[in-house]
Structure 1
Amino acid sequence: MYNHILVALDLGKETDTVLNKAVALQQVSSCKLSMIHIIEPISYAYGGDIPMDLGEVQQQLEDRSTNKLEELKNSRQLTNTDCSVLVGRPESEIHHFAEENNVDLIVVGSHGRHGLQLLLGSTANGVLHGAKCDVLAVRVHQ
């Protein structure tokens, strides 16, 4: 049985598949569920090459993601559940959140690409190899 499950969501088309698995586990364990979404800083993508302040755009992304997580939570009438949007590298932020919040299971989506190196996908693979708790990689289709 788990006490605290963390589900990391990309808020794409696979979100429902991954969230449904985490919610089912939460209900069996009667535990806390944390839903998170990680946004990589816009400056990572552009390397500071754009001569403008991207802070407002970044804030809009965070606000939209927060609203989407709350909609998911409310539409499923989830109790004992919190939502967080974090900014940074996905693997690092997931590990940090899990350690800081005593998470004992991390649920992530995995595309199951072919080949040993691509087995879990880069984010799921990074989460698995650095986690100090159990990790469930939910198979999702592209």
Structure 2
Amino acid sequence: MSYHHILVAVDLTKDSHKILERAVAIAERNDQAKISIMHTLEPLGFAYGGDIPMDLTSIQDQLDEHAKKRLAEIAAPHIAEADQHVVVGMPDTEIHRFAEEHGVDLIVVGSHGRHGFALLLGSTSTGVLHGAQCDVLAVRVGKKGEKSDE
């Protein structure tokens, strides 16, 4: 099978480069398949249950700008600015939506290879895998015994 559009979903940690490198290698083997990269920010109101009696818009905007800057650092020089996306929402839902709307045929995500309760409670990579309408590659990240940034 050949891929035409690869979506790389990253959490902006140091492991994001490793995930992108894997996607770039796959794109090169698939006639320079298009690569899009995205990061999803959870809305602050959702994260705090809407119990904060203040306008979080400016803080959310600052988080958005920081995420865009960090994503550009990770994406350079492989991915054009037009193919870099920071969205607000739940990660697995937004990744699925983007993939369906943009004809993505491979999603590449990082996975820390958790077991037991971490799997039962779920993770972004597990959520992406179970709802995707296309292939998903989970790239193992983090060294053995190293604590995750997630």
Using the size of structure 1 for normalisation, the TM-score is 0.90
Identity %: 55
Match of 2:54 among 52, 55, 76: 52
Question: Which whole-Å CA distance do the structure 1 matches of 2:106 and 2:54 have between them?
Answer: 40
Distance 2:133 2:91 in 1: 16
Work out the CA distance in 2 between the residues paired with 1:61 and 1:80: 18
20-29 vs 53-62, which deviates more? 20-29
The 8 Å contact of residues 16 and 74 in structure 2, kept in 1 or not, is answered as: no
1:1-142 alignment to 2 at 5 Å? 1-29=2-30, 30-74=32-76, 76-78=77-79, 82-115=83-116, 118=119, 122-141=123-142, 142=148
Q: Distance in 2 between matches of 1:3 and 1:77?
A: 16
Aligned amino acid, residue 38 of structure 1:
T
Describe the shift of the 1:116–1:47 C-alpha distance in structure 2 as closer, same or farther (beyond 3 A).
closer
Distance (whole Å) between structure 2 residues aligned to residue 11 and residue 22 of structure 1: 15
Residue 73 of structure 1 contacts residue 81 of structure 1 at CA under 8 Å; is this kept in 2? no
Structure 2 CA distance for aligned equivalents of residues 12 and 78 of structure 1: 18
1:127 is displaced (CA, Å) by: 0.5
Q: Can you list the C-alpha shifts for 1:50-97, whole angstroms capped at 9, x where unaligned?
A: 1111000101111111112222222x3445971000100000000000
The answer to whether the Cα contact below 8 Å between 1:32 and 1:81 also exists between their aligned partners in 2 is no
> What is the distance in 1 between the residues matched to 2:126 and 2:42?
17
Question: Aligned partner of 2:37: which letter?
Answer: M
CA shift in 2, pair 1:33/1:80, >3 Å: farther
Secondary structure of the structure 1 residue equivalent to 2:19: helix
- 2:145 aligned residue: none
Normalization by structure 2: what TM-score? 0.86
Q: Counterpart amino acid of 2:64?
A: E
Unaligned runs of 5+ in 2: 143-147
In structure 1, what residue type is equivalent to 2:112?
H
The one-letter code matched in structure 2 to 1:111 is: H
The question of whether the paired residues in 1 share the 8 Å contact of 2:10 and 2:37 is answered with: yes
